[in-house]
Amino acid sequence: MEVKTICPHCGLLCDLTLLKEREILGTVPSPLCVKGLLAWTITYDQSRIYQPMMRKGRKHATIHWKEAVETMRRKIKNKGALTFVVSGSCTEEELAWIYSLSNSLGAPMVTTDPVLSASIFCKQATISDLETADVIFILGELLEFHPVLAGQILRSKYERGTRLFCLSSRLGPSSWFSETLQPLPGGESLVLLHMAQMLIQQGTYKKEQEKIPGFPEFRSTLKALPPVDRAGIKPLALSPVVDALAKAKKPLFVVTPSVTKTDNWKETLLSLSNLALLLDCGVLIVGGLEKGLRKYGVEEYDGKRKKVAFIFRSDPRSVDADFKILFTPYFVEEADLLIPIPCFTELSGTLTDADGGTKKLNKISDPPQDVREVGSILSEVVEELRPSSPPPKKPLFEFKEVKEKINVPRVSAGFPFLLYSQPTYFNFDWVKLKKLLDRFLDLKDSFELNPEDAERLGIKEGAEVMLRTEKEEFKRVALVRRS
Ligand code: SF4
């Protein structure tokens, strides 16, 4: 039997048709990315949890629901020291319950996801903007991270003549199809600020944008920039890109999750959103299910230690708290109390796609006995709790000061080459998926090396190499790749 739902692993929310008899058997072949094709396997992952679990010493032990609920009731008494951490994987129905509880306790609702939190300060574009943009500027490596969206961008190029630019320190597949600026790693922010400076000096930005708060301060920041050569880019190389963006009727910036792999990714995204504001164009953040979060006024996690964190479908490793309560379908070592909830095939609910539209998750199979939905659990923790609708929208868009790290981070002299490990995904479920992908693609524990460095260091494809960083040592298999 064929059953339909959606893949919840990025803002495209592709339609997913699964084969099901008593159990789910697989995905009906369709043009999905490999993450989508394998998404269903999470349902039967051996790390699923079926009962609440509490840390007891170094280990976790299963506990009764009653004890789990009592513990949560005690913990919410720590008013003023609570935080509620959510991710784009939470359904709208779950967010309504979480918002209701956090609001009633006066505790903030935050996200730790780098791309999601970055998206809060960007003016966002939608996927449909790809069909009308005449110049697309890609920040980072898109093709490798997001083949489905990359297909749409390439269609724009070859069917409509859209001009493509790419800013990436790594010459991956995106650069093969674009006019590419390759800065030193971490130099992206400086390049983007120089592009903004050029627009202002030439007077080719949209003048009406001067009314936006923060413009004078932003303009004066640009006067004190270090030279762009520091990022490994010649000033002349910027002119064609800046001219094309200024002349475009509908320029569009596309940001990929690979950007968050650099130390100063936040400054890079701030610089990009300022540049986009100067041109009055949007930024499409690939990956994003964040529009659902923005409805609820979710803010960026401030990184401060909390007494108690209630964490929903997010990675507990990025939250600092004395006691972490994780609502999750899977076992995660770093939580103190684990509350089992359904995975995406066991849940009906609404997710918001990258265009701000909504799509429905269909329940394909029943959750295991004792696995309960978020709303049912929270309404037992606080009786009388009801789901709430989102708060009124706050106005957005402002030029933001880029204070930190506009200098290019130095590559340590101890490293004879630049190391790229295999990509890790920013979404908690994707960490699990990555393990599956590694098995599927046979990429486990590998690293990439360009052919020149490989020859110089005498390393052959497939060789096991011991790598040493300033902090640790680890073994990896070498993949000799041009990119
Ligand atoms: S593109 Fe996104 S939504 Fe579509 S299958 Fe891949 S991960 Fe899932």
Give the pLDDT confidence of 308-318 residue by residue, as tens digits. Answer: 999 999 888 88
| Percent helix, percent strand, percent coil in the chain, to nearest 5 | 35, 20, 45
Same domain, 24 and 144: no
How far is the centre of ligand 1, averaged over its atoms, from the C-alpha of 480 (Å)?
28
Report the C-alpha gap between 172 and 427 in whole angstroms.
Answer: 22
- Highest mean pLDDT of the ranges 204-208, 289-293, 459-463: 204-208
Helix (H) or strand (E) holding 56: strand 53-56
How far is the centre of ligand 1, averaged over its atoms, from the C-alpha of 145 (Å)?
11
In a domain, 32, yes or no: yes
Domain count for the chain: 3
Kindly state the DSSP code that residue 392 receives in the 8-state scheme.
Answer: P
Give the pLDDT confidence score for residue 426 in this predicted structure.
Answer: 38
In a domain, 213, yes or no: yes
Task: Say which residue the tokens 């968050």 belong to.
Answer: 260
Give the pLDDT confidence score for residue 397 in this predicted structure.
Answer: 62
CB of residue 9 inside a 6 A radius of ligand 1: yes
Q: In 86-198, which ranges are E strands?
A: 109-111, 135-139, 163-167, 179-181
Model confidence pLDDT, tens digit, residues 453-479:
889 889 998 898 888 766 667 788 888
Dihedrals phi, psi of 110, to nearest 5 degrees: -130, 170
In a domain, 337, yes or no: no
In a domain, 84, yes or no: no
Question: Which of 10, 153, 429 is the pocket-test mutation for ligand 1 (most atoms within 8 Å of CB)?
Answer: 10
CA torsion sign, 459 to 461 to 465 to 470?
A: positive
Neighbours of 440 (CB within 10 A): 13
Can you give the residue range of the structural domain that contains 39? 2-43
Written as one string, the DSSP assignment of 188-227 is HHHHHHHHHHHHHHHT-S-GGGGGSTTHHHHHHHHHTPPP
Last residue of a domain, one of 253, 269, 285: 285
Model confidence pLDDT, tens digit, residues 354-376:
777 889 999 999 999 899 999 99
Dihedrals phi, psi of 205, to nearest 5 degrees: -85, 170
The two three-digit tokens of residue 139, written as one number: 């920040």
Q: What ipTM did this prediction achieve? A: 0.99
> Amino acid identity of 172?
G
In a domain, 408, yes or no: no
Same domain, 17 and 152: no
The two three-digit tokens of residue 188, written as one number: 């992206």
Kindly state the DSSP code that residue 34 receives in the 8-state scheme.
Answer: H
- Highest mean pLDDT of the ranges 25-39, 180-194, 461-475: 180-194
Closest CA to 255 of 282, 285, 279: 285
CB of residue 10 inside a 6 A radius of ligand 1: yes
Residue 140 · residue 255 · CB < 8 Å = yes
In a domain, 164, yes or no: yes
How far is the centre of ligand 1, averaged over its atoms, from the C-alpha of 257 (Å)?
14
The two three-digit tokens of residue 242, written as one number: 């800046």
Same domain, 35 and 131: no
Nearest CA to ligand 1 atom 4: 14
Last residue of a domain, one of 285, 318, 351: 285
Neighbours of 195 (CB within 10 A): 25
In a domain, 318, yes or no: no
